[in-house]
Amino acid sequence: MNDTPLQTPRTDPQLPPSSDPLSEVLQLLQLTGVLYCNAELTDPWGIEIPALPGVMNVEVVTSGHCWLELEGETPVFMPEGSLVLIPRGRRHKLRGNPGDRTTWLEDIPIERIGDRFEVMRFGGGGRLTQVTYYGVRFDPYLADRLIRLLPETLHLRTHAADGSWLHGTIRFIAEEARRRLPGSETVITRLADILVIQAIRSWIESVREEAHGWIAALHDRQIGKALSLMHRHPERGWRVDTLAREVGMSRSGFSARFTALVGESVLQYLTGLRMQLAHRELRETPDTLGKIAERVGYQSEPAFNRAFKRVVGMPPGAVRKLQARN
């Protein structure tokens, strides 16, 4: 039996295809808040934060200033209103001033407010700096393509006078942390997710002119639309000719441009996307392999099993067994 997907594409009047392929891609991050900490730090102070694989670090200076240091890179000054995103959770240091001695994060006392909400008060009693820290776990399998493209740090700055979304969001987070009203943890978590997405979006826009590869494909009107269609409806029986017709191109022209921009063929990309989604389903749902196969576009479980093993390197049942043991 061949690996033929389930059905042919059709237009759904209730749910039109997205015209924003970047939104479809950002949804694959599957962000989950791990920890939120509001740090009140007084000079002199320094904190060494360990590497956290599979976690993005988001650090926002809500008052005062500090310095960010990553090994092998020039220290970055972070005035009030700065946000830094460390996409791959690299080990790093924060200091009130260059030369301040650092203390390992785990050795600093904290006050636990909720399951994932902490307050830290640390330092020598001098000038106050407030930093909000948010750890964001993402689905490494789904987000791998995007995460690999991001730089080691994304740094955004704002000022009170510019009235920007960033300043307003940072101020809102600081106020929620200060007041600690019922529901503050949920509000802060949602706002921090917005900061992560906006930081990534700002970076993608900043490299738009010199973009190549997958990022360039997202910005291409026709290839971007095709990516969006596949991401939104992976269960449909997409073929090169049907996708080409959807985006208004010839089959050969579409195939050549897609491969040139994305770096792999249409069907290779589609199969990889389906297996990424299936991998998540295997970990997060108790559904049968047959149901998962159908949701990602395969008409039989054996066909799905063969495709999954070919792409992932192990059968789907093995992924589920590993998840059950963890």
Give the C-alpha separation, 250 to 321, whole Å.
44
In this prediction, residue 245 carries a pLDDT of 95
Hey, is 77 helix, strand or coil? strand
CATH class of domain segment(s) 26-206: mainly beta
pLDDT band at 11 (very low <50, low <70, confident <90, very high): very low
pLDDT band at 24 (very low <50, low <70, confident <90, very high): low
Q: Which fold has domain 233-325?
A: Arc Repressor Mutant, subunit A (1.10.10)
| Contacting residues for 96 by C-beta, under 8 A, at least 6 apart | 41, 42, 43, 44, 45, 46, 64, 66, 67, 123, 126, 127, 129
In this prediction, residue 17 carries a pLDDT of 44
| Contacting residues for 326 by C-beta, under 8 A, at least 6 apart | none
**Average predicted confidence (pLDDT) for the chain:** 82
In this prediction, residue 67 carries a pLDDT of 97
pLDDT tens figures, 289-322:
999 999 999 989 999 999 999 998 999 988 888 7
Strand order in the sheet with 154-156: 110-112, 117-123, 32-42, 128-137, 55-63, 83-86, 154-156
In this prediction, residue 141 carries a pLDDT of 62
| Residue whose tokens read 């392929």 | 21
| Contacting residues for 262 by C-beta, under 8 A, at least 6 apart | 213, 214, 217, 223, 227, 269
141: nearest Cα among 12, 290, 15, 322: 322
Token code pair at residue 13: 């009047």
CATH 2.60.120.280 domain span(s) along the chain = 26-206
CATH 1.10.10.60 domain span(s) along the chain = 233-325
Q: What's the farthest any 2 CA atoms get from each other in the chain?
A: 72
DSSP state of 115: S
